[in-house]
Amino acid sequence: MGPENNFSTGEKFAGPFFFSPMMDTTSPLDLPAQLREVKRMLRGVMSGPVSASMRQQGLGYKINFGVDQPRLITLAREMEEFVTDAHALALALWKEDIRECRLLACIIMPPETFAEDMAAEWILQLRYAEEAQALAMHLLSKVPYAADMAFRLIAAEIPLQRLLGWLVFGRLFAQHKAPAERDNDEILDHLTAELHDAASPLELRRTALNTLNKYMELGTREEAYGMRILQALQNP
């Protein structure tokens, strides 16, 4: 599993993003030009100290601009001015060995065009926990196959994939989407195993616990089930 990292918070956003004075916004940009413009915008808001800190934490991208998630979300909105095909640009961004490009790919990819086989490919290419967070937040929790994919992920051998699965379930529970009766026991069994597994990375167990807390907010039955798991944790 690659080094884990939460979305970093750099300096506060000081102002809007601006297009290059030389860029003609009246004519549609082709895909390579759109990609260049995204990188130009990222350079304009980069944070050297944040980038250096991330490298010290083990993020091994070829380029890391040190831009935090709120700025990236704002940047994605600004990009709507020149993006003609968000799906195509997201695919191009995901292929870049640049931290912000891969996160932006998750933000701008339309969920309705994010096919299940494409999701499976991206999951295999995940490198860090931050990417899993972005993928769960902006894409996998919004697709019709979210629950089915999450079930497969929480049973995976790779910790980063299980982390993604719990993040997706956490998002679904926060949307008040309760599991079907036949699925309830399976989720609880996996949660119990994850929380009791001392070999699981700490961040993974924390995420599973957070997902359990969101599950318990679904109703009195779920709260009772969750309390049993928590009590078993306190009295192994």
Q: How far apart are CA 139 and CA 87, in angstroms?
A: 12
Average pLDDT over residues 99-107: 97
Q: pLDDT of 43-53, one tens digit each?
A: 999 888 888 88
Are 59 and 12 members of one domain? yes
What's the whole-number average pLDDT of the chain? 89
In a domain, 125, yes or no: no
Q: How high is the pLDDT of residue 24?
A: 52
What CATH number corresponds to the domain at position 221?
1.25.10
Are 3 and 78 members of one domain? yes
Structural domain range at position 18 = 1-114
Are 28 and 67 members of one domain? yes
Q: How far is CA 32 from CA 8, 10, 37, 89, 104, in A?
A: 28, 29, 9, 9, 16
Q: How high is the pLDDT of residue 203?
A: 96
Express as a percent the part of the chain with pLDDT over 90. Answer: 78
3-state secondary structure (DSSP) of residue 26: coil
Q: How many domains does the chain have?
A: 2
In a domain, 134, yes or no: no
Q: Which helix (H) or strand (E) holds 191?
A: helix 181-196
Q: CB burial class (10 A; 0-12, 13-18, 19+) of residue 156?
A: middle
